[in-house]
Every structure is written in C-alpha cells, then in structure tokens.
A and B are shown apart, each in its own frame.
Chain A
C-alpha cells in the first residue's frame, strides 16, 4: 500500500455528463470524443456535447480513435468512420455479424474481423480479406509497413495484406485475446485467457511469458520511447521493461499505483514517463516512473463503476476518461 499523501489534480477535472457505459475515449485534435456501448459517439465541444448515432439503434462493440477520426464497429455488423464535423462513412458491412476486433494504423489503414474472417482496408480503400485458423480476438497494425498482427487460438499471425504470401505464424498454446506490437516493431505481445501475457521477439520468434496476474489483462500501453509496457489486471500497474534486446526476460517488472483495487485501464503519457492508471473503483492516479511519485486525478465514487476508457491527447496536456456506469471527465494539466 502506498502511504504517501497524493498531490491532487482533482480540481482540474471537468466532469462530462455521459450517462452510458464508455467503451473508449480519445481526442480528435483538441476535442475529446467518447464511444458509448449504447451506440452513441459523443464529441465534447466548447459549447457542449454533440451526440451522434453512427449505427442508428444498434449498439457499439468496439471503437478506435485516431487524431482525425473515430472508427466504430457495431452490433449491426457495420464499421463506420465518423469525423469531428459529423460526417460519417461506412467502411464495411458484415451483414449483422458482430464486429469482434477493430484497429487502424497511423497512416490510415483499417482492419476489422468477424469470427475467423479478417478484412484489411488500406488508406486508398483497397480491401483484402483472409480467413484465420480460428476466431480472431485482437488486431493491431505493426508500426512499419502495411502489416497486420492478429491473435487467435494457439497463437498469433503476421500478415502483409498486399502480399500473396501466407502469414507468418507465432505459436503458443492457448487462447490469445488482445494483441499489441512495440512502437519499434521488435516485439508482439498478446493477453491470454489464463491471466498471462505472451510475447514474441520477432527477429527469432523467441517466446516470452509474463505471468502472475490475478485477472485478465485487458489494457496495454507502451511508453513513448517504447522502453516500457504498462499493463492492467492486478492491484498495481505492472510495467515490463522492453529496452534490452531480450525484452523483459529475466527481469522483474516495475509496479506502481498500488491500491486495494484492481487496475482496469493504463495509458502512458505521449512524451514523458508518466502513467495514467484507472481502477475498478473508478479512481484515477498519475504515476511518474522515475521516482514513483503519485498524483490523484479522481477520487473513487461509489456506484460509478470501473474506469473503462482512458486516453491522453497528443500534447499530453489533457486526459479524458469514462466509466462503466457512464461517468466521464476531462483533466487539463495546470
């Protein structure tokens, strides 16, 4: 337990009246945007909230936010891109099948999956599809080139959608859920059904096991320099060192933000070694890696659920968050 008194930033948090489970949040430019489970996309503007329903009456299952757009996948089987001015366009339609995974690259490529079926759409709108060996659970573009990593049962695969070649496979027994690659593209990490992380060094496919979590790890965040991977799933943010060529092998992880509540979301600051940590009791802390100093962003409020979404803006001056019970807020650093 951390006993040091927190310096508080709570006075700098502006509450946002949301009212529904927040799936994901982020920024389009300076403007916070939140995707809600009931199907709304909410833009937070100077003069109030603009609520849209890109999927009509259908619920949103997944969202991915880039600097200029928000992508949503719905229970209606559609993948929709919304822009800040309210324009929307449909990128995909899987005819009522739930969209299981969704991602986008920094350069405008988009990918989604339903069951075993993966669709990759490059920045020009060219579509390629592929069947995975089993249901795809996670999708992530590698930082370099047009290459998609996808997780499934018994491992993950790396696919160049524009190539006829078969995907490169990364094998490890078990069910792999979320997938993420390090910012330098050297490592791919998945979260697994059995409350562990699995990693591969891509140069030689060397396996890395990161275990000891009491719950599933559903939030992963890389530091801006790519040296650290912060993870949820325990009563402390567990932060693995990836700087060396062996990644975290043989090294203990760092821990910060220890509280008697499980961590549900982590988000590294875009240009400093500061981690935003969201808990199951909707508390939020900022933790500085260099000296473990903590700053309080949000005091837990009973009945407001767990933190389900947490994201910094590009400059690192603002942090937006949302909870499973529809509470949300915007921190502006002083």
Chain B
C-alpha cells in the first residue's frame, strides 16, 4: 500500500492573505512539489506548474444526513490527479473567501475513492488581524472558517496595536480554543507550521489544552459559533459514553462543526481519543496512560447553539 497523499485545505476571508501564504508555500526551497486546486481560476498569479480550477460545487450525500455535504468537483479532480503518481508530494486546496470548509473536509472522509488515496492533513485558516472584528459581525463564513481550523494564521499584525491584537486573539479563542495560532506579517510562517500537521490523525491528538483567554468574559449569543471545553476528573464508562456521543453527534450534527477528546475509560490502560466533523466521528485507543499521568477526560466541542449545561450534564452522567 502506497503512502496516502496529504491534502492541506487553505481557507480565509477575502483579502486575509491566503494567496500570499499559498505562494510562500510553493516557492520556499523545500524541494516538494504540490498540485494546487484553486477556485477563481487564473485570477491571481499562482507560481506553480500544476494548478487546477475548481467549481466549488457542493452537494448533499444521499444518505439521509443533511449536514453530510461534499465537494463533487474535488472528487473528480483528485481522481484525475491521482492517476499520475510522482508528479507531486501533496495537494493544496484553496477555497473561496466565502466557502464553508466542512464540505471540503467531509469529502476526504465520505468518498471511498478519495479516502483510499489521500488524507486530509489540516485545515489552515488565514485571518486578517485588522478586519476580523468587522467580518465576525457581518460574515458568518468568517466565523465558520475559524471554527473549523486546525491552524490559524493571524495575519497583518503589523497593521494593529497590541490592544487590538489581544482583542482579536480573544475573539478567535472564543470560537476555537484549540487550533494552533501563529501571528504573522505578510503570511510569513514556517512551513512546518502549516504542512505535515496530521491534524486528523488520532495518534496526533496528544493533548487538549483549550487556550481560553479571559474565560467567562464573553457573552455568547446562542446562534453564534462558540466552543465548549470540558474536563472530567476520574474515569468514564464507555458503555454510557459511546452511545451518548453517537446520539449527540447524530442529533446535533449540523450544529457541531468539530469535536475532539481524550478520554480515560474505566479499566482501560490506554487513552481513548476521538475527533469528529459534523456527524462523522472517528475514535480509537491510543497510547498507554503514563504512571504519573492524571487520569481525566478532556473534550472540546465547537459549534452553533451548543448548550453547555446540557452537554455537561450528559457527560457527567457517563462517569464510571
């Protein structure tokens, strides 16, 4: 079995610096070749041999799950690209500023042919430090893109004051407490920060340290995207937890954008890790708990209309 080709998804609101980051990735002397899938074909100069124009056509899977949307054009493009191995080491998918990252991500889990040949490496979201505040007010897509990110590039920090930067960072953390955040000017970031992240690999979910700034100071409007992080001391009963998380993601799938967790199951020497995108859940036993490690369970849910009291109560009820 040959190694799956990693796919990096690049999102960000219009003008945030996505194309600058893309060209930086392509031109750094890393010796790697990429196939680039872009939306507005030929509009901005992209310095690469293999650039494919995409339609961003999203459709619902016919499997009774309304949030299970995929990108049909991407399925076709990847089928075409993968026939010629050795032309590239990775694929970068740049989405439009208005795109919801979920269908792109779900394509890599739902389509069998795509998931056999490629793997989603990470969703990278580029954010404009100066204009994010405005975008969060008028553009739900901007909020979605932050919520979905594994890595956030907080760009154009040279255009804001230290106070403004702190505010913007706090706004990001309210939406997404666990993405890795890098502050940049002109999207200048080490490539290791954006490539080879394995963000969807269960073995890489080593810790969940939600980075909440000023906890409790934010007023959450219920329809807005926000996050809930829970830490449960002691063990959890898998017989109770598994049915609950399945039911919860099935029922609330459209509103849960991402979730991740590391759990301590009773009488289980290994850590159980899970992660999900809307209704698609993936979980497995990982490494052993270390002797000096505190056995506790941590999980983060990012989504809309999350009812903290309800989730806390439900998780509490699964304690062993």
- B residues within 8 Å of A by Cβ? 41-42, 52-53, 55, 57, 59, 61-63, 70, 72-73, 75-77, 80, 83-84, 111-113
Q: A97-B53, A137-B76, A175-B72 are in contact. List 10 more A-B contacts (CB 8 A).
A: A96-B42, A96-B53, A134-B57, A135-B57, A135-B73, A137-B72, A153-B57, A192-B62, A193-B111, A194-B63
Complex CA distance for A193 and B111, rounded to whole angstroms:
8
* Nearest chain A residue, comparing its CB with the CB of B76: A100
The answer to whether B52 touches A98 (Cβ under 8 A) is yes
Contact of A98 among B59, B80, B111, B112 (CB under 8 A): B80
| Among B70, B75, B111, residue most surrounded by chain A Cβ atoms (within 10 Å) | B75
Given A98-B77, A153-B57, A194-B62, A324-B83 contact (CB < 8 Å): yes
Say yes or no for A173: interface residue by CB 8 A criterion: yes
* Nearest chain B residue, comparing its CB with the CB of A23: B83
Complex CA distance for A46 and B55, rounded to whole angstroms:
45
Main secondary structure of the interface of A (DSSP, over half): loop
Say yes or no for A56: interface residue by CB 8 A criterion: no
Main secondary structure of the interface of B (DSSP, over half): mixed
Complex CA distance for A20 and B112, rounded to whole angstroms:
23
CB-based closest 4 A-B pairs: A174-B62, A37-B83, A21-B83, A194-B62
With both chains docked as a complex, state the minimum distance between the C-beta of A103 and any C-beta of chain B, in angstroms.
16
Chain B residues with Cβ below 8 Å from A21 are 83-84
A-B pair number, CB within 8 angstroms? 58
Contact of A173 among B62, B75, B113 (CB under 8 A): B62
| Among A175, A192, A216, A324, residue most surrounded by chain B Cβ atoms (within 10 Å) | A175
Contact of B72 among A75, A96, A135 (CB under 8 A): A135
* Nearest chain B residue, comparing its CB with the CB of A39: B84
Chain A residues with Cβ below 8 Å from B53 are 96-98
Complex CA distance for A115 and B72, rounded to whole angstroms:
11
The answer to whether B84 touches A194 (Cβ under 8 A) is no
Complex CA distance for A134 and B73, rounded to whole angstroms:
11
| Among B53, B80, B112, residue most surrounded by chain A Cβ atoms (within 10 Å) | B80
A-B contact pairs, 19 of them (CB 8 A): A21-B83, A21-B84, A61-B80, A96-B41, A96-B42, A96-B53, A98-B80, A115-B55, A116-B55, A135-B57, A137-B76, A153-B59, A153-B72, A175-B72, A193-B70, A193-B75, A194-B61, A194-B63, A215-B112
- A residues within 8 Å of B by Cβ? 20-21, 23, 37-38, 59, 61, 75, 96-98, 100, 115-116, 134-135, 137, 153, 173-175, 192-194, 215-216, 324
Chain B residues with Cβ below 8 Å from A194 are 61-63
| Among A115, A174, A193, residue most surrounded by chain B Cβ atoms (within 10 Å) | A193
The answer to whether A216 touches B83 (Cβ under 8 A) is no
Complex CA distance for A92 and B45, rounded to whole angstroms:
25
Complex CA distance for A281 and B255, rounded to whole angstroms:
42
The answer to whether B55 touches A193 (Cβ under 8 A) is no
Complex CA distance for A117 and B73, rounded to whole angstroms:
14
Chain A residues with Cβ below 8 Å from B55 are 115-116, 135
Complex CA distance for A134 and B53, rounded to whole angstroms:
16
* Nearest chain A residue, comparing its CB with the CB of B62: A174
* Nearest chain B residue, comparing its CB with the CB of A196: B62
Complex CA distance for A75 and B52, rounded to whole angstroms:
8
Complex CA distance for A137 and B59, rounded to whole angstroms:
13
With both chains docked as a complex, state the minimum distance between the C-beta of A216 and any C-beta of chain B, in angstroms.
6
Given A37-B84, A153-B57, A216-B112 contact (CB < 8 Å): yes
With both chains docked as a complex, state the minimum distance between the C-beta of B35 and any C-beta of chain A, in angstroms.
11
* Nearest chain B residue, comparing its CB with the CB of A215: B112
Complex CA distance for A174 and B76, rounded to whole angstroms:
16
Given A96-B53, A153-B57, A215-B112, A193-B62 contact (CB < 8 Å): yes
With both chains docked as a complex, state the minimum distance between the C-beta of A286 and any C-beta of chain B, in angstroms.
27
Given A97-B53, A98-B53, A216-B113, A38-B84 contact (CB < 8 Å): yes
Complex CA distance for A100 and B73, rounded to whole angstroms:
9
Chain A residues with Cβ below 8 Å from B41 are 96-97
* Nearest chain B residue, comparing its CB with the CB of A62: B80
With both chains docked as a complex, state the minimum distance between the C-beta of A167 and any C-beta of chain B, in angstroms.
19
Complex CA distance for A134 and B57, rounded to whole angstroms:
8
* Nearest chain B residue, comparing its CB with the CB of A22: B83
Complex CA distance for A316 and B80, rounded to whole angstroms:
31
Complex CA distance for A20 and B85, rounded to whole angstroms:
10
Complex CA distance for A324 and B59, rounded to whole angstroms:
29
Chain A residues with Cβ below 8 Å from B73 are 135
With both chains docked as a complex, state the minimum distance between the C-beta of A170 and any C-beta of chain B, in angstroms.
16
The answer to whether A175 touches B84 (Cβ under 8 A) is no
Given A96-B41, A137-B76, A59-B62 contact (CB < 8 Å): no
Chain B residues with Cβ below 8 Å from A75 are 52, 80
With both chains docked as a complex, state the minimum distance between the C-beta of A327 and any C-beta of chain B, in angstroms.
15
* Nearest chain B residue, comparing its CB with the CB of A97: B53
Complex CA distance for A75 and B84, rounded to whole angstroms:
12
The answer to whether B76 touches A193 (Cβ under 8 A) is no
Complex CA distance for A53 and B24, rounded to whole angstroms:
33
* Nearest chain A residue, comparing its CB with the CB of B80: A61
* Nearest chain A residue, comparing its CB with the CB of B53: A97
The answer to whether B83 touches A175 (Cβ under 8 A) is no
Chain A residues with Cβ below 8 Å from B113 are 216
With both chains docked as a complex, state the minimum distance between the C-beta of B123 and any C-beta of chain A, in angstroms.
23
With both chains docked as a complex, state the minimum distance between the C-beta of B111 and any C-beta of chain A, in angstroms.
8
Complex CA distance for A187 and B239, rounded to whole angstroms:
50
* Nearest chain A residue, comparing its CB with the CB of B112: A215
Complex CA distance for A324 and B2, rounded to whole angstroms:
13
Complex CA distance for A115 and B61, rounded to whole angstroms:
19
Chain B residues with Cβ below 8 Å from A153 are 57, 59, 72
Given A98-B53, A192-B62, A59-B84 contact (CB < 8 Å): yes
